[in-house]
Amino acid sequence: MSPSEQYSVRIKDVALLAAFALFLSTIEYVIPKPVPYMRIGLANLSVLIGLTYLNLKEYALLAVLKVLGQGIVHGTLFSYIFLLSAAGSFASALVMLLIYRTASRRISLIGISAAGAFASNLAQILLAGVMLFGSAAWLIAPPFLAAGLIASVVLGIFAEKFSRESLWLKKRRGAAA
Amino acid sequence: MKMIGKPADAAVIAGIVVFIVLISFQVYANRGEASQVRIDAQGEQWIYSLDADQRVMIPGPLGDTEVVIKDGQVHIPDSPCRNKICVTSGLIHRVGQWLICLPNDVFIRVEGEVPRDQEVDDVAF
Amino acid sequence: MKEQRNLPLISGLLMLPALVFQQNLLFLGLQTLFLVMLQPILGKRIRVLPNLIMLSTITALNLVQPYGRVLAEPLGFPVTVGALELGMRRSFMLISLIYLSKFMVIGSPRFPGRLGEMLSLQFSYYQGFLSTPVSLRPSQIIRSLDQLLLSLEASDGTVHVSRLPKRVLMFCAASPVLIWVCFAAGSLQ
């Protein structure tokens, strides 16, 4: 029996979305960026998609798999970078979940994406201050947060469009209903 | 084109923009330079933060002068010089204050941005 | 077979404390250099520029808080020994841990438990993503990502594991020894 046969369709979906996140972060890795340390946060697209139809447990599993998978593939599992990435991802996943659960009628994936990226970047700056840069971490905070805001709004618009047009998601939501 | 986005999106984005602007001011404009302790001895210099407790030995012609930074104040607990004027000079903490040990060629001063009110006093003496 | 692919992971875990507790900056630098040089030996490329950027930015930002003897004061900005050492220590630590991690996952290790199985499933899908061509043209990107998800969901992922080459196994044994020798030398000084 192959490993994938033991799991329900939904659990396999979580692995698929986690792999999607990994794929997106690999794409991001090869995109040349004007400033080092600048992150677009493409992988957040998969979390935004997961947010719209996974239950709490599946969503948490997605966040854990995303963080672990990135750590393994990018070879940062046992470095500070992994702690930074984990802190950022979990802060963002939590903030996005809270907003989605309390206010999804009034807010779209655009605002959720922006808030998630903001939480992620703030968590990373705080941690980078402690571990790498000292108090000078705040010097890079404003451009870092501003770039993150722009990237996350663009990604949010994309996620919103994707969640309306995706046949895969339509199928999933149909199956869940 | 269909409108995407909902009212609260703008609120969230505006909130983040305000935060970034505020933090930019905090970081770049209003950057009150923390006070530092600068030590001169025999042509060399040392710099330490006044905020972090520290005990350093500064080499001079007679031996090591001990400099202690504790609770935002600087003093010389011991010095190899004969008259020990530096030791009896006590504690310094304000910008512009200094300690000196002439025999051992050690000069210690507190540097940094002078707070507004203090500046007025200095000009009006 | 299963044990063999976990060997680099175990070897790396053995080295980890010798890096984290290294007090001597010079030997930390040597350890870092060794771990970076391990990459070409194992057949991977080293990207020099990102490492230099990391080294220089982390060091530069640490110089902002002066500490210790002043080396030079260009344009009124004091470069102090203590701050320079702290910055270099932090960058070496980061770079060495990144390369150690790269070494540890070289055999696509299998992690224990249910979560480990989920990770394997995730990686099999990931392989699928990588081996399917995607159009990144703006007009088609949503369609093509959607198609990708639909096609992969139907696929049944199996993980391909290739045997680790002899020299990798050799370095699994030799590297911890070298790294610990550097640690011992650094502690003696």
**For residue range C136-174, what is the model confidence (pLDDT) as tens digits?**
777 788 888 898 888 888 776 555 666 788 888 899 999
Tell whether the model's pLDDT for residue C134 goes beyond 90.
no
A161, pLDDT greater than 70: yes
Q: What is the mean pLDDT of residues C26-43?
A: 92
In chain C, the percentage of residues whose pLDDT exceeds 90 is 32
The chain-wide mean pLDDT, for chain C, equals 86
Residue pairs spanning A and B at CB distance below 8 A: 60
Query: Residue C21 and residue C182: Cα distance in Å, rounded?
Result: 11
Per-residue model confidence as pLDDT tens digits over A100-153 = 999 988 999 999 999 999 999 999 999 988 888 887 888 889 999 999 999 999
Answer yes or no: is pLDDT of B51 > 70.
yes
pLDDT band at residue B15, thresholds of 50, 70 and 90? very high
Q: Mean per-residue pLDDT for C50-58? A: 87
Is residue B1 predicted with pLDDT exceeding 50? no
User: CB neighbours (10 Å) of residue C163?
Assistant: 11
pLDDT above 70 coverage of chain A, percent: 91
Residue B5 has pLDDT above 60, yes or no: yes
Cβ pair C164, C8 in contact under 8 A: yes
Structural domain span for residue B50: 36-123
CA angle B39, B45, B49 (to 5 degrees): 55
Q: What is the pLDDT of residue A53?
A: 87
Q: For residue B10, is it within any domain?
A: no
Distance between CA atoms of residues B84 and A28, nearest Å? 64
Q: pLDDT band for position C77 (50/70/90)?
A: confident
Residue B124's φ and ψ, nearest 5 degrees, are -90, 20
Least confident of B2-6, B17-21, B39-43, C126-130: B2-6
Contact list in B for residue A111 (CB cut-off 8 A) is 5-6, 8-13
Q: How would you classify residue B43: left for phi > 0, otherwise alpha for psi between -120 and 50, otherwise beta? A: left
Q: What's the N-to-C CA distance of chain A in angstroms? A: 30
**Cβ neighbours around C34 below 10 Å, total:** 16
Answer for the pair A72, C119: CB distance below 8 angstroms, yes or no. yes
Residue B53 lies in a domain: yes
Q: Is C70 helix (H, G, I), strand (E, B) or coil?
A: strand
B104, B62 in Cβ contact below 8 A? yes
**Of the candidates C86, C81, C70, which has an alpha carbon nearest to the alpha carbon of residue C28?**
C86
What local confidence, expressed as pLDDT, does residue B66 receive? 92
B4-28 average pLDDT score? 90
Amino acid letter, B70: K
Judge whether B23 is closer than 8 Å to chain A, CB to CB: yes
- Give the pLDDT score at C5: 82
Smallest CA–CA distance from A137 into chain B, residue:
B27
Question: How far is it, in rounded angstroms, from Cα C188 to Cα C182?
Answer: 10
Residue C133 pLDDT: 77
Residues of C whose CB is below 8 A from A70? none
Domains and CATH numbers, chain A: 3-168 (1.10.1760.20)
Ordered by start, the domain boundaries in chain C are: 2-108+163-188, 112-160
Displacement of CA A78 from its chain's centroid (Å):
20
Share of chain A above pLDDT 90, in %: 58
What's the pLDDT at B120?
47
Chain B neighbors (3+ CB pairs < 8 Å): A, C
Q: How many angstroms separate the CA atoms of C62 and C87, rounded?
A: 5
Say what the pLDDT of residue C76 is.
81
- How far apart, in Å, are the Cα atoms of B77 and each of B64, B66, B84, B86, C68? 12, 6, 10, 9, 19
Q: Which of A119-123, B69-73, C1-5, C39-43 has the highest mean pLDDT?
A: A119-123
* Of C104, C129, C130, Cβ closest to residue A77: C104
- For chain B, how many structural domains are there in total? 1
Averaged pLDDT for residues C15-27 = 93
Q: Which residue has the tokens 């609260």?
A: B8
Average pLDDT estimate for B2-6:
72
Buried b (16+ CB within 10 A) or exposed e, A47-68: bbbbbbbbeeebbbbbbbbbbb
User: Where is average pLDDT lowest: A63-72, A116-125, B106-115, C158-167?
Assistant: C158-167
Other CB atoms within 10 Å distance of the CB of residue A102:
10
Cβ of C126 within 8 Å of Cβ of A69? The answer is yes
Asked whether residue B5 is domain-assigned, the answer is no
Higher pLDDT, A143 or A38: A143
How far apart (Å, rounded) are the C-alpha atoms in residues C86 and C88? 5
Whether residue B43 lies inside any domain: the answer is yes
Q: How far is CA A10 from CA A57, A71, A166, C153, in A?
A: 11, 24, 17, 11
Res. A158: pLDDT tops 90: yes
Residue C61, min C-alpha distance to chain B (Å): 14
**C151 to chain A: closest CA residue:** A168
Per-residue pLDDT band for B3 (boundaries 50, 70, 90) equals low
Q: Does residue B27 fall inside a structural domain? A: no
CB B67 within 8 Å of CB B55? yes
Percentage of residues of chain C with pLDDT beyond 70: 95
Of B56 and A37, more confident? B56
Question: Phi and psi (nearest 5°) for C3?
Answer: -65, -40
- Of A4, A26, A65, nearest to C119 by CB-CB distance is A65
Nearest to B72 by CA among B27, B21, B110, B123: B110
State the pLDDT at residue A177.
53
Could you report the per-residue pLDDT of C95-117, keeping only the tens digit for each? 998 889 888 888 877 888 888 88
| A14 → chain C, closest CA residue | C122
CATH number at residue B84: 2.60.320.10
3-state DSSP of A4-28: HHHCCHHHHHHHHHHHHHHHHHHHH
Determine contact, residues C39/C46, Cβ cutoff 8 Å: yes
With beta carbons under 8 A apart, name residues in chain C contacting B49.
65-67
Residue B3, domain member (yes or no): no
Question: Within a domain: residue B117?
Answer: yes
Q: How confident is the model at residue C70 (pLDDT cuts 50, 70, 90)?
A: very high
